[in-house]
Chains A and B, each alone.
Chain A
Amino acid sequence: DAGVTQTPRHEVAEKGQTIILKCEPVSGHNDLFWYRQTKIQGLELLSYFRSKSLMEDGGAFKDRFKAEMLNSSFSTLKIQPTEPKDSAVYLCASSFNWGPSYEQYFGPGTRLTVL
């Protein structure tokens, strides 16, 4: 079985650009998460979908960050416009929440550098 797939693995953007990150969850999983990870803040939740419905939009990240789940096997995270402080690793994770286990599986991440 394929794990969580993320593309691209690396992205370099100029300040003010729009970038779109992509994620494919584990087949059959119905929860999908987008996180941002920095050395200072650690892991921060950006968005959380359950069965394609947005459950959590990350509060402080709402204005320039938008995650969408077009179908159960694909999600995007758009950052518009990008700022240098957005430089971080963006992680996507999925899980299956209908059983007793709530184990999360993470993708390899996208390292974003904003100049």
Chain B
Amino acid sequence: GQQVQQSPASLVLQEGENAELQCNFSTSLNSMQWFYQRPGGSLVSLFYNPSGTKHSGRLTSTTVIKERRSSLHISSSQTTDSGTYLCALEANSGTYQRFGTGTKLQVVP
């Protein structure tokens, strides 16, 4: 079955609103990485966050291993935040990362 599930699948925000994107996983976690992808673009790493909370500007990533979830919080959204956000986890078994299906975010003025 699907090891990594992301929600919501899509989201529309008014500029200035906050967003919380979720990544839930069904296997034990070794690491978690969040990526951003602009339409037609490649993947850019936002956070490598195996556990705990990390901040970068308006972005915050929180991974709670016991609850098998990771979240990405975007505060004061801007139109330039529009794109797809993907999470990827590396299972405890030490194999390669597995990707979620992504959250497509659109921020409108």
A65 at the interface (CB under 8 A from B): no
Stretch of A14-22, A67-75, A77-85, A100-108 with 4 or more beta carbons under 8 angstroms from chain B: A100-108
B97 at the interface (CB under 8 A from A): yes
Given contacts A43-B86, A102-B31, contact A91 B96 (CB under 8 A): no
How many angstroms between the C-alpha atoms of A37 and B29 in the bound complex? 24
Residues of chain B with a CB closer than 8 A to A31's CB: 96
Given contacts A42-B101, A101-B48, contact A106 B96 (CB under 8 A): no
B26 at the interface (CB under 8 A from A): no
The B contact surface, by secondary structure, is strand
Whether A102 and B101, one on each chain, are in contact in the complex, defined by CB atoms closer than 8 angstroms, is no
Residues of chain A with a CB closer than 8 A to B35's CB: 106
Size range of the chain A interface in the assembly = 10 to 19
How many angstroms between the C-alpha atoms of A101 and B102 in the bound complex? 22
A45 at the interface (CB under 8 A from B): yes
A109 at the interface (CB under 8 A from B): yes
Given contacts A33-B96, A42-B99, A45-B96, contact A104 B86 (CB under 8 A): no
Residues of chain B with a CB closer than 8 A to A56's CB: 95-96
- Proximity bits, B13-41, A CB within 8 Å = 1, else 0: 00000000000000000110101000001
B56 at the interface (CB under 8 A from A): no
Cβ contact of A108, chosen from B33, B42, B48, B88, cutoff 8 A = B42
A-side residues, CB < 8 A to B, are: 31, 33, 42-43, 45, 48, 55-56, 91, 93, 101-109
B-side residues, CB < 8 A to A, are: 30-31, 33, 35, 41-45, 48, 86, 88, 90, 95-97, 99, 101-102
